[in-house]
Amino acid sequence: MLPALKSDRMSLADVMPSCLAAISGGDNRLGLPRADRAIVVLVDGLGAAALKARAGHARTLMAPLTKSSIIDSGFPTTTASALATLTTGTLPGQHGLVGFTVLDTVNDRLLKQLSGWDSSLDPVAWQPMPTVFETAIAAGLDAVVIAPERYRDSGFTHGVLRGAAYVGASSITDRVDEALAWAATGARGIAYLYIPELDMAGHAHGWESSEWISTLESVDAAIRTLEQSLAPGDGLLVTADHGVLDIPEHGHIHVDGTPALLDGVRFLAGEPRCLQVHFEKDALSAVRESTLAAWRAEESDRAWVATRDDAIAANWFGEVRAEVAPRIGDILVAARKDVAYYDSRLIKPGSHGMIGQHGSFSPAETKIPVLRYGAFSRI
């Protein structure tokens, strides 16, 4: 049985639209009370399970954490997909960022969506859904993104953050200062503050490491500073794009060691916890069927193996636009045990040493907090 995403559960897609509705005084999915300004902090990689396991190191983050403040990140549990879901209020089948790397059908290549853009692809055409920032500006509100300077001019930024003024700030502390400076102007609107450092520590050292804990403590201190400096009309939400789990080296599966898994295959997209297998355009039906059968025979005890049609029917990506469907793999291999899939022929230096990982359906990956402070914490 494949996991099926439930459309009635609160998810990352509800966060930003709920903030805008709270500013305008309307009803919203999160039930947020009225506020003049919303500051949304996304802590990359802050899964609810890992946060609870390190509760003593994050007292400010833990204070508002309850069963009702845990929501779903959506699928796949990867930053490119999740951030687009956050900022458009739509699921990947609509905004089109369906994985870490995806098939660019126009240019017949794999596109790394966080950093692999070039002039041959228009970010607005690739991701045409209106952003929450564009909606805010159209309504006469303010919109600002506060993130590291290095992301300012990326194709990803133009695709999913357009409409907002971009404020570059190098450290977590600097970003908090910029958010407070924006709030102090009294502008009505929404500010989005991005913290990538926790995810970086998780990938490099694992979430059970002292480095991850130290970074979590820095994040907690930053949120405490924000909370203590909020004006009465300021609402603060802290959330994440996905969680994390540590994958031991013995959990690395080298798919090129089984030739039948790659018969007729042109591209391996996605990421190690959720491969998206694309066939050659001229691959015969018999080849496609035998390769699918090989994946199921080899990996069904460790992963959910689904065709594109299976995944769409199970609502993995939400409703899928026609132009988005070919970006999704012909076969999806979503890990359900503590494993990660690699093609050793394509491994670059450093990429095989990633400890903390995400991308699939485990609760450690999918369950994220949405924590309320300031005006948003009023009952």
CATH number (domain holding residue 287): 3.30.1360.180
E strands, 33-125, are 37-43, 70-72, 101-104, 109-112
More confident residue, 379 or 11: 11
Q: Is there a domain that residue 321 lies in? A: yes
| pLDDT value of position 257 | 95
Q: Are residues 55 and 161 in the same domain?
A: yes
Range of 74's domain? 12-98+117-245+361-377
Angle at 198 between CA 196 and CA 201, to 5 degrees: 110
pLDDT of 136 above 80? yes
Q: Are residues 284 and 373 in the same domain?
A: no
Mean pLDDT of 10-18: 97
Q: Are residues 43 and 23 in the same domain?
A: yes
- CA-closest candidate to residue 89, choices 74, 109, 76, 111: 74
pLDDT of 226 above 60? yes
Q: Is there a domain that residue 158 lies in? A: yes
Q: Is there a domain that residue 2 lies in? A: no
CA distances from 102 to 5, 111, 157, 327, 335 (A): 21, 5, 17, 6, 18
Contact 102, 84 (CB under 8 A): no
> Which one-letter amino acid corresponds to residue 341?
Y
- Name every residue whose Cβ is closer than 8 Å to that of residue 297 and which is 6 or more positions away in sequence: none
Q: Are residues 335 and 367 in the same domain?
A: no
Mean pLDDT of 243-272: 97
Q: Are residues 345 and 322 in the same domain?
A: yes
Q: Is there a domain that residue 7 lies in? A: no
Domain count, the chain: 2
Measured CA to CA, the distance from residue 202 to residue 53 in angstroms comes to 14
| pLDDT value of position 345 | 85
| pLDDT value of position 350 | 58
Mean pLDDT of the chain: 96
Return the H-helix or E-strand segment holding 369: strand 367-369
Q: Are residues 314 and 168 in the same domain?
A: no
| pLDDT value of position 6 | 78
Q: Is there a domain that residue 110 lies in? A: no
pLDDT of 351 above 80? no
Q: Is there a domain that residue 108 lies in? A: no
Q: Are residues 37 and 136 in the same domain?
A: yes
- CA-closest candidate to residue 126, choices 92, 76, 77, 75: 92
Q: Are residues 154 and 55 in the same domain?
A: yes
pLDDT confidence of 349, banded at 50, 70, 90?
low
pTM above 0.85, yes or no: yes
Q: Which 3 state secondary structure label does DSSP give 20?
A: helix
Q: Are residues 278 and 365 in the same domain?
A: no
| pLDDT value of position 306 | 98
pLDDT confidence of 116, banded at 50, 70, 90?
confident
pLDDT of 67 above 60? yes
Q: Are residues 226 and 265 in the same domain?
A: no
pLDDT confidence of 289, banded at 50, 70, 90?
very high
Q: Are residues 199 and 280 in the same domain?
A: no
Q: Are residues 365 and 340 in the same domain?
A: no
pLDDT confidence of 362, banded at 50, 70, 90?
very high
CA distances from 36 to 120, 178, 282, 299 (A): 41, 18, 56, 51
Measured CA to CA, the distance from residue 36 to residue 182 in angstroms comes to 12
> Which one-letter amino acid corresponds to residue 359?
G
pLDDT confidence of 81, banded at 50, 70, 90?
very high
Contact 117, 151 (CB under 8 A): no
Q: Is there a domain that residue 216 lies in? A: yes
Q: Is there a domain that residue 1 lies in? A: no
